[in-house]
């Protein structure tokens, strides 16, 4: 029984399974044979065999079984999609590597698939059958010896790297490069100091590869270009003239090893270079074009810090000012990005809002160049968040100048692709600077009336340059059995993956919406899809209670219910979430939609400790309903992007005094007030739980698969009428507190039928 079902039944929000099954069911439809909707035991056995080699850490599917015919495909009423991490989840020991030496890489000559565990070894040892196109692959003499078959990574594991030769490169492997484009128009000495300290520490700790290149420009009403030539005793700063031409020809990406001392000296004084900020419009667009010009021959990571409004982004392509601000105002950045993706440049944009910064237009860079964006609208925690976010960006292991494609077996084709990418040619995507936190979603469909084989095979290939300068191909393999039975398909649905797939499709529709009416149609699409799935659940007696919870959370999500009718910080915040939701992985995005709620006052002895294997034991979540608040105590809510510690009106005063100190009633509670009483066991458990939810331990970042590196903690007293109290109650999604979507869980289940 799922956690959601236990929580909802206990709180009276859901009828018991027995009561549901006693309700009259719609008449099941016939599909071919009389027993076609029974569990297909052969398919399930096949499923167990497939999962031995499936790359389950890098690929998830909406169901572990896909349809055999187009009729079943249409009648199932779900998107048949896979959510893929092209880079794969980083693992401590790294991905196993296959090295063919001087021999050509062994692959199918017809479809170009790489050999993998799902290929059939024929009786004649010199032949294999391709699982993607079924053609026969001839194996060169002595390349695959029988004694080596069980040792080869490409025949025993679902994910692996292949060392690629010169035939897989059109130029010498690029050097890792970081170019910093820093807005100094606002007074941000603290953040400039943080940036300088992080980069300097990483340089002195030799965190960057010896081949790494560095460059800097700063800008306000002028552009300042920096020369770090090793021939100089100190950095030279050039203030560019109105034409923004470089003062002298040359490469302004500098070898870190050669210019280490001069770069470190510059970083030491970065926060003092501009004591009198120019509080006017900046030269953002000119600085951006200059950065592209400097990076175009090599490529790399472009780190952008922007704070002032960018006037060029607010100029509309027509005379009328837009009434809604969920679309880009103009295509200025898009036109530049269409060239930048060919130069393998990917941006990470850090936005410190000063009024309306037009995040929707900045998102064009994120979308087309596989970039990311960070938004700091709370000045009380922006320094901490900026520290962890920037440090994570610089610590990541990127795949440089990378391209990506997916191959599917006969009978299937790609219907749509969702995420951050640009098209290089045909089915090949430019996936610049891929890393382990972003996903792409591929929606698949049958391209013939009936699939000719019993399995759908997928193989992904990411061709990239490693930080050490090696050309490699990262391969993931996945097998999905197919069936004529909708009941079998529904029994194998991954409910969180299905909900997130529907959400990503809806977000994609919102990205091309013209007005608020289109936003309403997006919500209608979600309701129609949920209603169709719910109807099939009743027909085939396969309850999907967690899916109802996820879909209710989606319908209550702020980005689907916001008007986007103002040029404001809140509009930028909504567009920021729309951007990151496109590439967040399933498990993290679910928490944004259906938060986790824990009762800290009732922690058990076995909660919030690490077991003998080092795994953290989470407390049992409680239901997202007002009743839990009425019961009193201290509650902790994980909203994905932040944590809320909620002090209910009814609470144990002695316990609160132990946690916060005796003056907790009269002081403004912040996280620094916590953990003062080390003798209280709840303090230790609360500390460990917060650290685990943030995915960091003892102030050392654990670079896990979580995009949000620092979730701020807001401490809220019930009745304080603060913004974060309102957020807490809005996130009690099983009740009807959400003012934009007033519907509790039972109402929602009845509404979708």
Q: Where are the alpha helices (DSSP H) in 494-566?
A: 495-511, 516-540, 545-555, 558-561
| pTM exceeds 0.85 | yes
Residue 413's pLDDT is what? 95
- State whether CATH 1.20.120 applies to domain 3-63+486-588: yes
How are the residues of the chain apportioned to helix, strand and coil, as percentages rounded to the nearest 5? Answer: 35, 20, 45
Among the listed ranges 96-105, 244-253, 376-385, 546-555, which one has the minimum average pLDDT value?
244-253
DSSP structure string for 354-399:
SS---HHHHHHHHHHTT-EEEE---TTTHHHHHHHHHHHHHH---B
Query: What letter does residue 128 receive in the DSSP assignment?
Result: E
- Has residue 229 got a pLDDT over 70? yes
For CATH 1.20.120, the residue range(s) in the chain are: 3-63+486-588
- Give me 121's structure tokens: 């070894």
Residues 6+ apart with CB under 8 A from 113: 107, 130, 131, 132, 133, 407, 459
What does the pLDDT look like over 359-394, one tens digit per residue?
A: 999 999 999 999 999 999 999 999 999 999 999 999
Distance CA 312, CA 278 (A): 18
Architecture of the domain defined by 595-732: 3-Layer(aba) Sandwich (3.40)
Kindly state which CATH superfamily the domain 97-170+400-483 is placed in.
Answer: beta-sandwich domain of Sec23/24 (2.60.40.1670)
The pLDDT assigned to 162 comes to 96
30 vs 298, higher pLDDT: 298
Of 17 and 631, the structure prediction assigns the larger pLDDT to 631
Tell me which of 3.30.390.30, 3.40.50.410, 3.40.140.10, 3.40.50.620 is the CATH number of domain 177-395: 3.40.50.410
- Quick one: how far is CA 483 from the chain centroid? 31
Residue 134 has pLDDT above 60, yes or no: yes
Output the average pLDDT for the chain: 87
Looking at the chain, the domain(s) classified CATH 3.40.50.410 span: 177-395
The per-residue pLDDT for 25 is 43
Evaluate if residue 67 carries a pLDDT over 90. yes
232-255 per-position pLDDT tens digit: 989 999 998 776 676 665 689 999
Q: What is the pLDDT of residue 166?
A: 85
Between 173-177, 184-188, 674-678, the lowest mean confidence (pLDDT) is in 674-678
Q: For residue 261, is pLDDT > 80?
A: yes
- Sign of torsion, CA 262 267 273 277? positive
């Amino acid at each position: 029984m799922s956690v959601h079902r236990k929580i909802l039944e206990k709180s009276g929000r859901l009828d018991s399974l027995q009561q549901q099954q006693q309700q009259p069911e719609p008449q099941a439809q016939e599909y071919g044979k009389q027993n076609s909707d029974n569990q297909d035991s052969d398919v399930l056995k096949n499923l167990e065999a497939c999962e031995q080699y499936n790359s389950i850490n890098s690929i998830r599917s909406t169901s572990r079984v896909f349809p055999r015919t187009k009729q079943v495909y249409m009648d199932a009423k779900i998107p048949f999609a896979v959510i893929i991490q092209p880079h794969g989840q980083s693992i401590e020991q790294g991905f196993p590597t296959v090295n063919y030496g001087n021999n050509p890489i062994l692959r199918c000559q017809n479809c170009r698939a790489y050999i993998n565990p799902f290929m059939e070894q024929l009786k004649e040892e010199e032949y294999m059958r391709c699982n993607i196109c079924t053609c026969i692959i001839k194996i060169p003499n002595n390349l695959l010896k029988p004694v080596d078959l069980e040792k080869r990574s490409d025949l025993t594991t679902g994910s692996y790297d292949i060392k690629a030769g010169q035939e897989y490169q059109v130029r010498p492997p690029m050097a890792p490069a970081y170019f910093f484009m820093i807005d100094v128009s606002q007074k941000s000495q603290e953040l400039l100091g943080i940036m300088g300290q992080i980069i300097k520490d990483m340089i002195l700790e030799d965190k960057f590869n010896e081949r790494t290149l560095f460059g800097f420009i700063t800008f306000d009403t002028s552009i300042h270009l920096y020369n770090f030539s090793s021939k100089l005793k100190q950095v030279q700063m050039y203030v560019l003239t109105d034409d923004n031409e470089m003062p002298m020809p040359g490469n302004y990406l500098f070898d870190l090893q050669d210019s280490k001392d001069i770069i470190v000296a510059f970083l030491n004084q970065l926060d003092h270079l501009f004591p009198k900020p120019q509080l006017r419009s900046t030269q953002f667009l000119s600085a951006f074009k200059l950065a592209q010009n400097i990076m175009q021959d090599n490529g790399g990571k472009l780190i952008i810090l922007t704070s002032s409004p960018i006037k060029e982004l607010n100029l509309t392509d027509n005379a009328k000012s837009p009434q809604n601000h969920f679309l880009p105002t103009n295509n200025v950045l898009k036109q530049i990005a269409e060239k930048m993706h060919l130069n393998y440049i990917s941006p990470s944009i850090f936005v410190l809002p000063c009024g309306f910064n037009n995040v929707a237009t900045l998102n064009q860079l994120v979308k087309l160049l596989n970039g990311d964006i960070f938004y700091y609208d709370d000045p009380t925690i922006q320094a901490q968040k900026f520290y962890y976010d920037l440090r994570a960006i610089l610590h990541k292991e990127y795949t440089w100048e990378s391209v990506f494609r997916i191959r599917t077996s006969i009978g299937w084709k790609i219907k749509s692709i969702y995420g951050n990418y640009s098209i290089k040619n045909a089915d090949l995507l430019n996936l610049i600077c891929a890393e382990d936190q972003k996903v792409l979603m591929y929606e698949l469909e049958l391209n013939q009336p009936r699939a000719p084989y019993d399995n759908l095979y997928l193989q992904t290939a990411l061709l990239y340059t490693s930080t050490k300068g090696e050309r490699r191909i990262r391969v993931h393999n996945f097998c999905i059995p197919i069936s004529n039975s909708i009941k079998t398909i529904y029994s194998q649905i991954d409910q969180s993956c299905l909900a997130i797939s529907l959400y990503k499709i809806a977000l994609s529709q919102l990205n091309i919406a013209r007005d608020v009416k289109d936003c309403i149609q997006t919500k209608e699409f979600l309701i129609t899809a949920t209603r169709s799935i719910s109807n099939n659940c009743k027909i085939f007696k396969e309850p999907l209670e967690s899916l109802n919870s996820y879909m209710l959370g989606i319908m209550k999500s702020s980005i689907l219910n916001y008007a986007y009718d103002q040029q404001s910080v809140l509009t930028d915040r909504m567009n920021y979430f729309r951007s990151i939701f496109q590439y967040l992985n399933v498990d993290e995005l679910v928490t944004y939609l259906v938060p986790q709620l824990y009762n800290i006052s009732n922690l058990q002895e076995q909660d919030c400790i690490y077991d003998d294997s080092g795994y953290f034991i989470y407390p049992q979540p409680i239901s997202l309903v007002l009743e839990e608040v009425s019961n009193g105590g201290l509650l902790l809510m994980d909203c994905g992007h932040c944590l809320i510690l909620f002090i209910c009106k009814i609470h144990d005063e002695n316990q609160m005094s132990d946690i916060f100190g005796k003056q907790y009633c009269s002081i403004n509670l912040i996280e620094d007030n916590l953990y003062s009483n080390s003798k209280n066991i709840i303090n230790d458990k609360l500390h460990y739980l917060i650290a685990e939810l943030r995915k960091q331990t003892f102030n050392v970042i654990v670079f896990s698969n979580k995009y949000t590196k620092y979730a701020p903690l807001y401490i809220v007293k019930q009745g304080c009428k603060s913004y974060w109290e309102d957020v807490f109650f809005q996130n009690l999604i099983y009740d009807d507190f959400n003012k934009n979507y007033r519907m509790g869980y039972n109402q929602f289940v009845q509404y979708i039928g």
